[in-house]
A and B are shown apart, each in its own frame.
Chain A
Amino acid sequence: EAGVTQFPSHSVIEKGQTVTLRCDPISGHDNLYWYRRVMGKEIKFLLHFVKESKQDESGMPNNRFLAERTGGTYSTLKVQPAELEDSGVYFCASSRPGQGAYEQYFGPGTRLTVT
């Protein structure tokens, strides 16, 4: 099966600009997660979708971040306006419904640099 894919792999933007990251989960995976790793620190949870619904968005840092998953397939994470501290690697993961939900499969990440 195809893995989790993310686009773009790298993005360099200026402070104040907008960036949209995309994640395509593994087909059939109802659960989709966003994580972020900033400056070599630990990977931190941002939010969790079940199909198109936000199940848990406790990790979203502020209202400059907007995640969507229209139709319950791919997801986008928009940062508007971007700040310097938003630089980092943004990971997407997906997992099956039911008993397989705890085992998450990760994408390659999007490296975001805000200058």
Chain B
Amino acid sequence: AQSVSQHNHHVILSEAASLELGCNYSYGGTVNLFWYVQYPGQHLQLLLKYFSGDPLVKGIKGFEAEFIKSKFSFNLRKPSVQWSDTAEYFCAVNVKAAGNKLTFGGGTRVLVKP
């Protein structure tokens, strides 16, 4: 069965610092990749997605992610975080051969100190 690993459970950083969250998955076939974010008290929102094409994808709020097929990775980055980026971030993978279901990583809680 496929699995998704997020390397950090908790990240604490100051405003204006750069953020990178790691995500690796364990399936070798065709995948769709996603990052979701859950702000405090809110529901899961799609941050960005990769289906095909340019492996560097840009999402909302200045986030981007890079798909590196050889490393089975889809890391999320933001050059300069804001206090409002405090949230929990989830990497998710859809294995095309297995239908529409998403397999999620364990989530990373990010706290940005003002």
Residues of B within 8 A of A (CB): 4, 32, 36, 42-46, 49, 51, 90, 92, 94, 99-107
Contact = CB atoms under 8 A, between A and B. Distances in A.
A75 B82 CA distance: 38
B104 A102 contact: no
A106 interface: yes
A107 B44 CA distance: 7
B43 A33 contact: no
B104 A42 contact: yes
Contacts of B42: 108
Contacts of A105: 46
A43 B90 contact: yes
A45 to B, nearest CB: 4
A111 B101 CA distance: 21
27 contacts: A4-B43, A31-B100, A33-B101, A33-B102, A42-B104, A42-B106, A42-B107, A43-B92, A43-B102, A43-B104, A44-B104, A45-B101, A45-B102, A45-B103, A48-B99, A48-B101, A55-B99, A55-B100, A56-B100, A56-B101, A58-B101, A102-B49, A103-B49, A104-B46, A106-B43, A106-B44, A107-B43
A86 B36 CA distance: 24
A101 B51 CA distance: 12
B73 to A, nearest CB: 17
Interface of A: 3-4, 31, 33, 35, 41-45, 48, 55-56, 58-59, 91, 93, 95, 101-109
Contacts of B4: 42
A38 to B, nearest CB: 12
Nearest to B99: A56
B99 A3 contact: no
Contacts of B100: 31, 33, 48, 55-56, 95, 101-102, 104
Contact of B43 (A56, A101, A103, A108): A108
- List the 8 closest pairs (A to B, CB-CB), nearest first: A106-B44, A43-B104, A108-B43, A45-B101, A42-B106, A42-B104, A56-B99, A102-B32
